[in-house]
Amino acid sequence: MVCVSVRRWSGLAASLAAATLLTGCLAVGPDFLHPAAPETERYTMEPLRLRTSATDARTGQPQRFRPGGDIPQEWWRLFKSRQLNALIERSLRANPNLQSTLSALRASKELVYAQQGKYFPTVQGNFNPTRQLQSSVVSPALNCPPLCQNPFDLYTAQVQVSYTFDVWGLNRRTVESLQAQSDAQRFQFEAAYIALSANVALAAITEASLRAQIDATNQLIALNRKALDTLRRQLDSGFANRSEVAAAEAQLAQVEATLPPLRKALAVNRDLLAALAGGFPSTEPHELFRLDALQLPQDLPLSVPSQLVEQRPDVRNAEELLHAASAQVGVAIANQLPNFTINGNLGYMNTVLAGLINPANMFWLISGNATQTLFDGLTLLHQERAAKANYDAVAWLYRAAVVGAVQNVADALRALQNDADALKAAREFERAAKISYDLARQQLDLGNINILLLLQAQQTYLQAQIQVVLARAARLSDTVALFQALGGGWWNRIEPPTERILDVGTGEGATLVDKYRFY
C-alpha cells in the first residue's frame, strides 16, 4: 500500500509540474513596453553655445560642454576640494534619510521574493493528538481491537499539499508589479543619493559665499573706520564739520549692521551641513569652506535628451511605476477568470502512538476546485477599469517627469551661460568701483571732496564686491545643478550600495554592515 500511495503522489507532483509548464507562457493583460524617447534632440530653442564667457576673476574660467560626455560617479571630486570630498562621503554613510531608503529597498525586495513563493505548492505538516469520549448509542463503535476503551486516544499525522494553478498569469502579473515597485524603490534610493551629495555641495558653496561676503564687509568696515578717523582729525584741525563726521558714523553703523544677518545665515548653514552629515548642530563638521579653495570644473558633459531619460533616477522611477500599473491591469483581468486549485492530504491515524506509522493506518485525499465569479455587482469589472485609469494617470506622471528632467537641464545650461556673463559684468563693475573709490579717498585726504561722495563710493564698491562673490558662487552652484540634472553618474558606481545601519543608541557615528547586497 505504501508503494501504491507513493506512486500516486509522484503522479500528482508530475501533474503539478506539467500544469505549471503548460500555463507558464500565458498571462492576460498588456505586456509592458519601454516608453519612447523624447521627441526632441536639444534642450534649448536656439543652438547651444559650447563655451561660456570668461573673466579674470577667480572661478572665471570658461566652461566647455562636451555633448555625449559621461559623468563620473563621484562628480564632486571635480571641484578639487578634499574637505568637500570628506564631508560628502561622511554624509553618504551617516545620513538617516538615505539609510531609510536602503531599508525600504530591502523590504521591497523581500516582498518580491514572498510573492514568488506562490509559484510553488504550499506544503504543511500536521500532528493532532486527541482524547475523546463518544456516545455508545449514537456514535458507531470505533473500529479497533476488542480491548479499545471509550474514552480513547486518537493520533493523526498528515501532510497537506495545496496548489493554485496560475492559468491566467495572476501571480506572474503580481510578481511583475512588485518587481517594478522594487525597481522604482531602487531609483528612489539613487535620487536620494544624488540629492544628498548635491545638497551637501550646495551648502558648502553657500558657506564659502557667506564667508566671502563677511570678509568683504569686514574690509569695508575697516575702510569706513579709516575714513572716519581721517574726518575726526580734520574736524579737530578745522577742515571738516560735524555733519560730515556724523554722516561717516552713520555709514559705518549701516555697514556694521549687515554683518549679523550674514553671520546668522552662516550659522544656520553650518547646522544644515551637520544635519546632512547625520549629526547634531552641537557637533558641526570640522570642515570649513572658502571660495578660493573650490575650483570650477571646466569640461562639462552633456547628455542628449534620449540618453537623459535613461540616466535620471526620477524618470526611471516613474517608468517603473508605470510598469507596475500596467501589470496591475493584468491582475484585474485575471481576477475575473476561473480559478483552479488542487489539494491533497496523506497521513496516518491510530489510537496508539507507537503503531501510528503503519500501512493499515494510512489515509489520503485528492481534490480539485474550480471557482468562477458569476455575479459580484460588477465589482471586478470596475476594478479593471480603475486599474486602466490608474495606468493612464501614471503615464501622464511619467510624461511630466520627462518634461521636468529636460527642463532641469535646460535651466542649468541657461544658468551656466548667463551667470558666466554675470560674473564678467560684476568683475568689470568691481574694477570700476575700486578705481572710483581709490580716487575719492585720495581726494578726501587732500580735502578736495565732500565726505558724502566718499561714502557713496564706498557703498558702491561694497555692492560690487558682493556681486562678484555671489556670481562666483552662482557659477559653482550652477555646475552642481547640471551634474544633478544629468543624473549624477549613478550608473558608473562600481560596487552596489550596501545597507548601512546607524548606531543611534550611542550617537557615535555609523556602523557599516555589509551583509545585504541588493542588486
- Specify the residue for cell string 493612464: 392
Q: For the stretch 228-266, what's the b/e string if a residue is b when 16 or more beta carbons lie within 10 angstroms of its beta carbon?
A: bebbeebeeeeebeeebbebbeebbeebeeeeeebeebb
Tens of pLDDT, residues 118-169: 999 999 999 999 988 877 666 555 555 544 577 888 899 999 999 999 999 9
User: What pTM was estimated for this model as a whole?
Assistant: 0.84
> With contact defined as beta carbons under 8 Å apart, do 409 and 314 qualify?
no
Q: Which of 268, 267, 287, 266 is nearest to 91 (CA)?
A: 287
Q: In the structure grid, which three cell numbers stand for residue 176, read together? A: 511583475
- Rounded CA-CA distance 184/314 in Å is 9
Sign, CA dihedral 229-234-237-240, equals negative
- The full set of domains in the chain, from first to last, is 2-134+150-517 (1.20.1600.10)
Q: In the structure grid, which three cell numbers stand for residue 120, read together? A: 510553488
> With contact defined as beta carbons under 8 Å apart, do 475 and 423 qualify?
yes
> With contact defined as beta carbons under 8 Å apart, do 185 and 318 qualify?
no
Q: Which of 86, 74, 39, 91 is nearest to 276 (CA)?
A: 91
- Rounded CA-CA distance 431/468 in Å is 10
16: exposed, middle or buried (Cβ count in 10 Å: 0-12, 13-18, 19+): middle
- Rounded CA-CA distance 8/2 in Å is 10
> Residues in the chain with pLDDT < 50?
1-13, 16, 18, 21-22, 146-147, 499-519
Longest dimension (CA), the chain: 138
- Specify the residue for cell string 501510528: 356
Q: What is the tally of helices (H) and strands (E) in the chain?
A: 10, 8
Tens of pLDDT, residues 161-200: 999 999 999 999 999 999 999 999 999 999 999 999 999 9
Write down how long the chain is: 519
Tens of pLDDT, residues 495-515: 655 544 444 333 444 444 443
Q: Which of 176, 182, 195 is nearest to 108 (CA)?
A: 182
Q: In the structure grid, which three cell numbers stand for residue 399, read together? A: 510624461
